[in-house]
Amino acid sequence: MPHTITLHRVLKAPAERVYRAFLDADALAKWMSPNGFTAKVHHLDAKVGGGFRISFTNFSNGQSHAFGGTYLELLPNERLRYTDQFEDPSLPGTIEVTISIKPVSLGTDLRIEQAGIPDVIPAEACYVGWQESLLLLGKLVETQVE
């Protein structure tokens, strides 16, 4: 039975910068992969109905897995909703990801819901992967380079 995870984080960065980090191919390649992996964005068409394809490569053993999806909703600086599907047939189904972004006094309140995760992927693995990625996202968007 597929499952759902939710994450929450407050980032000391403006909502626009956080939103952009989810739709800029170079930014995604920098922050999205969890520890021990590299990321490559093969395609990204950031519009409703547009799609993306990304692969993560295990730096230790060189094994890669790819996934992609379609953008369902893009409300600038507020919300992104997209589908996600693994290319590996042993990870079936469609995941729906909702990213909610809200300006707050210290920066941006970020909430992520990932629904429909294949049951062969433990929920705790998703939490750990996202937590590692969100640390990298923070380093990217919270740093103001003049």
Residue pLDDT, tens place only, 75-110:
999 999 999 999 998 888 899 999 999 999 999 999
Given pLDDT bands bounded at 50, 70 and 90, which one contains residue 145?
confident
Spatial separation of the C-alpha atoms in residues 15 and 30, rounded to whole Å: 18
**Domains by residue range for the chain, with CATH:** 3-141 (3.30.530.20)
- What local confidence, expressed as pLDDT, does residue 108 receive? 98
User: What are the tens digits of pLDDT across the range 5-40?
Assistant: 999 999 999 999 999 999 999 999 999 999 999 999
Q: Which pLDDT does position 2 carry in this prediction?
A: 84
pLDDT of residue 1: 73
Q: Which residues of 31-66 are buried (b: 16+ CB within 10 A; e: fewer)?
A: bbbbeebebebeebebeeeeebebbbbeeeeeeeee
Assign 146 a pLDDT band (cuts: 50, 70, 90): confident
For residue 142, give the 3-state DSSP assignment: coil
The DSSP string of 93-123 is S-EEEEEEEEEETTEEEEEEEEEEE-TTS-H
